[in-house]
Amino acid sequence: MLARDLARSLDSAYWFQDAGIMHPDNWQVQAIRSQSKRQLWNVHRQGGKSTTAGLKAIEKAVAQPNSPVLVISPSQRQSAETVRTCLSLHSRVWGLPRIVGESAHRLELENGSRIISLPSSETTVRGFANVALLILDEASRIPDEIVAACRPMLAVSDGDIIALSTPQGRRGFFHDWWENGGTTWERTRITANQCSRISPAFLADERKALGEALYRQEYLCEFVENDEQVFPSEIIRVAFSSEVVSLWQ
């Protein structure tokens, strides 16, 4: 057991093997090995985001005793699904701290760490402190004000953030971090045609069924303009300038 703990501490990719996932995608291996404190995973549907995030949550909870790991999801259903994923992964890895508390939205380990998954409601996310890892699941669907309420939780702990999602238009914090976050963020973009588990025939059918805009968003991970916009975002952006002198000055 000590050898396995040492192996995982030296190379986090062993978490996949210990959980019985023998052939993770290259992006998953790179993501779990990453030491970046700010990560954006712009990955297609069914691309393995939830599994990788679940292992990152367990890894952090094991490595930092008495630390809360917080997962924010758009809905109550998705929040409960995240806990089920973590519970399943925990059961597959032998020798981890025992689960001493469990509910639909919470796992507590005997080392004092907790994995808590909550829907994106301001009344549910406030009140947590010293969060070691904040995971924003389906980040493009989480309202900006929820993220604003979460970020102070990392102030004292200097905790990490992982935002995983497919895009939803050219708006919101996920798009802003991706386009304007600079070198603060480590970005991963994986499209469906890079995934060997998804056939070209299936993707061709999806393209016909969804239409070009939705297909590009869900499977090619592109920040597509909202069809309800009268003017494209770029035209709106360049219409504003700080170089124009106000007439009343």
CA distance 83 to 70: 11
C-alpha distance from residue 123 to each of 110, 144, 197 (Å): 28, 14, 40
Among 18, 12, 47, 55, which residue's Cα sits nearest to residue 30? Answer: 12
CA distance 223 to 42: 10
φ, ψ of residue 26 in degrees (nearest 5): -60, -40
Q: How many residues does the chain have?
A: 249
Q: What was the pLDDT predicted at 6?
A: 81
Tokens matching residue 7: 């192996």
CA distance 55 to 68: 15
Identify whether the C-beta of residue 82 lies closer than 8 Å to the C-beta of residue 52.
Answer: no
> pLDDT tens, 208-219?
999 999 999 999
C-alpha distance from residue 213 to each of 56, 145, 229 (Å): 32, 27, 14
Global pTM value: 0.88
Q: What was the pLDDT predicted at 76?
A: 87
Identify whether the C-beta of residue 56 lies closer than 8 Å to the C-beta of residue 162.
Answer: yes
CA distance 41 to 18: 23
CB atoms within 10 A of CB 157: 16
Tokens matching residue 33: 């090995």
User: pLDDT per position in the chain (249 positions), as tens?
Assistant: 677 778 888 899 999 999 999 999 999 999 999 999 999 999 999 999 999 999 999 999 999 999 999 999 999 899 889 999 999 999 999 999 999 999 999 999 999 999 999 998 877 788 888 999 999 999 999 999 999 999 999 999 999 999 999 999 999 999 999 999 999 999 999 999 999 999 999 999 999 999 999 999 999 999 998 654 444 544 444 444 455 555 555
CA distance 49 to 244: 44
CA distance 70 to 1: 28
